[in-house]
Amino acid sequence: MTSVDSPFWGPDFRELQSTDPQIAEVLLGELDRLRGGLQLIASENFTSPAVLAALGSTLSNKYAEGYPGRRYYGGCQQVDRAEEIGQERARQLFAQPGTDIHVNLQPHSGASANLAAYAALLKPGDTVLAMSLPHGGHLTHGAKVSFSGTWFQPVPYTVRRDTELIDYDEVRDLALTHRPTMIITGATAYPRLIDFARFREIADEVGAWLVVDAAHFIGLVAGQAIPSPVPYADVVTFTTHKVLRGPRGGMIVCKPELAKRIDKAVFPFLQGGPLMHAVAAKAVALQECLQPAYRDYARQVIANAQALAEALAAEGMRPVSGGTDTHLALLDLRELGVTGSQAETRCDRARITLNKNAIPYDPQPPMTASGIRVGTPAVTTQGMTEGDMKEVASLIGRAVRDADGSATNDVGTAVGALVARHPAYARPGQATGLRA
Q: Which of residues 245-264 bind ligand PLP (CB under 6 A)?
A: 250
Site string (152-191) toward ligand PLP, x via CB under 6 A: ----------------------------------xxx---
Q: Of 107 and 433, which CB lies nearer to ligand PLP in the complex structure?
A: 107
Please tell me which residue in 192, 242, 356, 435 is annotated as part of the active site: 242
Any catalytic annotation for residue 63? Answer: yes
Q: How far is the CB of 414 from ligand PLP (least distance, A)?
A: 30
Based on the shown chain and the rule CB under 6 A, indicate whether residue 140 belongs to the binding site for ligand PLP: yes
Q: Of 43 and 45, which CB lies nearer to ligand PLP in the complex structure?
A: 43
Q: How far is the CB of 216 from ligand PLP (least distance, A)?
A: 5
Any catalytic annotation for residue 65? Answer: yes
139 within 8 A of 292, measured Cβ to Cβ: no
Angle between helices 340-349 and 408-421 (to 10 degrees): 70
Cα dihedral value 406, 408, 414, 419, nearest 10: 180
User: Among 37, 110, 229, 340, which residue sits at the site for ligand PLP (rule: CB under 6 A)?
Assistant: 110
Any catalytic annotation for residue 255? Answer: no
Please tell me which residue in 44, 80, 167, 213 is annotated as part of the active site: 213
Any catalytic annotation for residue 242? Answer: yes
Please tell me which residue in 35, 63, 160, 255 is annotated as part of the active site: 63
Site string (5-44) toward ligand PLP, x via CB under 6 A: --------------------------------------x-
Any catalytic annotation for residue 381? Answer: no
Site string (45-84) toward ligand PLP, x via CB under 6 A: ----------------------------------------
147 within 8 A of 116, measured Cβ to Cβ: no
Any catalytic annotation for residue 248? Answer: yes
Residues that bind ligand PLP (CB under 6 A): 43, 109-111, 114, 138, 140, 186-188, 213, 215-216, 239, 250
Instruction: Give catalytic residue positions.
Output: 63, 65, 213, 239, 242, 248
